[in-house]
Amino acid sequence: MTLASLRPAGQMMAYLPLPDAEALAETLVAFANGDGGTVVAGADEKGRVTQGLYADEIESVLRAAERKCRPAIHVGWEQMEAPGGAVFAITVARSPELHSLDDGRVLIRMGNENRPLAGDEIRQLAATKSAGDFEAEAAPGAKREDLDDELIAEYIEKRQARQRRAITGAPDDVLREIHALDYAGNPTHSGVLLFAKNTQQFLPQSGIVFVKFIGAEPRGEDGLAGYGRREEIGGPLARVIERAWQVVYEEMAMGAVVKGLERQDITEYPPFAVREALVNAVCHRDYRLRGRRIEIRMYSDRMEVISPGGLPGFITVDNLVEEHFSRNPRLVNGLFQWGYIEELGLGIDRMIEELVQHGHAPPRFKDQPYSFTVTLFNARERKAAPAAGAWQKSMNERQARALTYIREHGSITNRDYQSICSDVSPETLRIDLADLVDRGILLKVGAKKGTYYILK
C-alpha cells in the first residue's frame, strides 16, 4: 500500500494527522460496527506527512485506543515510507460484535464522520450483529475448483486498475484476503457469489427474475394472468448485474432529441438510476433467505426492483439517503473494486438526482420485514419550468448568483455558496438556499456535510 493509492476520507477511509488515542478509538469503533475500513495515521487527506512517526509510537497510541473499546477490537497495521517520515495504515475489519467506547457511546461510520447512535438504532444494529457473518461462512459442498479462475483474474485486473498498484500475491492469497476462501481453502458464501462457475448450485436464491407486464397491473392481455416477457438470470453476481441491465435496457422505451446537429437517445429511465437500483438489490439482499430471488417487475408506468430481506442494521426509509450500512460488506467491496459501484455510500443520492433532473418523480422506497422495494416511475414532468428571468425577479442577488453557479457546475454546496458570497454569514446563506428549496426552484440532496443542491 502507498500514499498515492489511498482514497479520500469516506465510508471506509479515515485520516489521523496527529496521533490521538481518543480520536483513533472512535474511528476503530465506527469502522468495526460498520463496513470496516482503514485509518491512516501521520498524514492528512492530501497525502501530506504531518508528523513522522515511529513504530513504537503508533503501537503505544493503538494500545491506548484499544483499551477504550468495548469489547476489544483486533486490528492490523503496516508502515508506509513517505517523504517527511513514516506513515501507518491501520486496518479494521467489520466485526460480528457490537462495539462501544468506554464512556458507553456506540458509533457508526457515516460518510467521512463517526456518528453516535441513539437507543433504537443501537438495538437494531445489535439485532443485525447477532445474525452472524453469513458472508464469511464456508459454503456447504463448495470446493476451490468450483471457482472460475478467469473471473478471478478479471477481478484482480479491475482491482489493480482502481487501486493504481500491482497485486503481487497469488490469486488464492487475494481470495483469502477478501474472505472469498476460508483458511482451509474452501469457498465462502461471498466467494461463491462472486466467483463460482455455477453460483446457483450452492445458492439457488441468488439469481434474478425479470418480468415485463403489458399494462400497469400484474396481468396480461384482456385482464388475464400473463406477461410480455420473463427471464431467469443466474451466474456470479457481476454477470447477474450485467445480464439484468441488458434485459432491462432491451425493454425500455427509447426516445430521442436533437441538439445542434447531434441526435441524443433518451431512455425510459435514467441509466444510472436503473443500474443503481439493480446493484443495490444484488449487494444488499439477505442471501440467507431461501426460496426467493430478486425480482424486477416492469410495468407500463413504473419499474419495481424487489430485494428479499428488509433494510439492514439501523437503516430506515427515513434515513436511507443520509446513512450507510451494508448487510454484505464483502460483496459491496468486491463489486466496488470490480467497478460496479462508483463511490461507496453515495448511490442513492445520485439516483434521486438523476431521476429529478430528467423530469421523473423521486423513487419510492418500501421496507417490509422480508423485502425491500425500489420503484422508479417513467412519467416525466410536462409543466414548463419558470423562465430564469421570472425567478430572478423574486430573489435576491445572492440567490441569482447561486443559480448561475448551479447552471455552470451542476450543483452547489454550502461551502461553494460561501466561497462566492464570502462577505455574508453562513446562516444567511443557509436561509437563502432553504428559501429556494421551499419555492420549488432547488432540490436538496443528502444531509449534514454531504448536502448539496440541484435545480428542480
| Count of domains forming the chain | 4
Of 165, 360, 189, which Cα lies nearest the Cα of 270? 360
Over residues 130-156, the pLDDT tens digits come to: 555 888 899 999 999 999 999 999 999
Alpha-carbon distance 235 to 151, whole Å? 11
pLDDT of residue 383: 44
Alpha-carbon distance 326 to 316, whole Å? 13
Task: Give the residue ranges of the chain where pLDDT is below 70.
Answer: 1-5, 130-132, 219-226, 256-264, 343-346, 381-394, 446-450, 456
In a domain, 122, yes or no: no
Residues whose CB falls within 8 Å of the CB of residue 371, separated by 6 or more in sequence, listed in order? 306, 307, 308, 309, 310
**Cβ atoms within 10 A of the Cβ of 382, count?**
6
Whether 40 and 74 map to the same domain: the answer is yes
Identify the CATH number of the domain in which residue 425 sits. Answer: 1.10.10.10
CB 294 within 8 A of CB 207: yes
Whether 171 and 64 map to the same domain: the answer is no
Alpha-carbon distance 389 to 310, whole Å? 46
Q: Quote the cell numbers at residue 235.
A: 451466474
Identify the CATH number of the domain in which residue 76 sits. Answer: 3.30.950.30
Over residues 192-248, the pLDDT tens digits come to: 999 999 999 999 999 999 999 988 888 655 555 567 889 999 999 999 999 999 999
User: Nearest 5°: phi and psi at 189?
Assistant: -60, -40
Q: Quote the cell numbers at residue 25.
A: 478509538
Whether 352 and 429 map to the same domain: the answer is no
Alpha-carbon distance 370 to 285, whole Å? 10
H-type alpha helices, 164-236: 171-177, 189-195, 199-202
Last residue of a domain, one of 346, 377, 408: 377
Alpha-carbon distance 246 to 243, whole Å? 5
**Cβ atoms within 10 A of the Cβ of 391, count?**
16
Q: Quote the cell numbers at residue 367.
A: 421496507
Q: What SS3 state is found at 319?
A: coil
Q: Quote the cell numbers at residue 216.
A: 400497469
CB 129 within 8 A of CB 34: no
Whether 246 and 366 map to the same domain: the answer is yes
In a domain, 293, yes or no: yes
CB 196 within 8 A of CB 146: yes
In a domain, 207, yes or no: no
Alpha-carbon distance 326 to 130, whole Å? 15
Alpha-carbon distance 405 to 399, whole Å? 10
pLDDT of residue 123: 84
DSSP 222: G
Helices 397-409 & 426-438 angle (0-180, nearest 10): 70
Neighbour-count burial of 114, counting CB atoms closer than 10 A to its CB (0-12 exposed, 13-18 middle, 19+ buried): buried
Last residue of a domain, one of 63, 86, 117: 117
DSSP for 427-441, please give it: HHHHHHHHHHHHTTS
Neighbour-count burial of 230, counting CB atoms closer than 10 A to its CB (0-12 exposed, 13-18 middle, 19+ buried): exposed
Last residue of a domain, one of 377, 406, 435: 377
- For the chain, what is the total number of helices (H) and then of strands (E)? 15, 18
Alpha-carbon distance 443 to 113, whole Å? 24
Whether 244 and 362 map to the same domain: the answer is yes
In a domain, 21, yes or no: yes
The neighbouring-strand residues paired with 100 are 70
Whether 246 and 369 map to the same domain: the answer is yes
pTM for the model: 0.68
**How many residues are recorded in the chain?**
456
H-type alpha helices, 34-180: 55-67, 119-129, 149-163, 171-177
pLDDT of residue 346: 66
Whether 72 and 14 map to the same domain: the answer is yes
Whether 243 and 371 map to the same domain: the answer is yes
Of 247, 349, 237, 253, which Cα lies nearest the Cα of 296? 247
Alpha-carbon distance 42 to 421, whole Å? 34
In a domain, 218, yes or no: no
Whether 272 and 373 map to the same domain: the answer is yes
Q: Which residue has the cell 463489486?
A: 335
Alpha-carbon distance 193 to 151, whole Å? 12
Q: What SS3 state is found at 331?
A: helix
The whole domain housing 405 covers 388-455
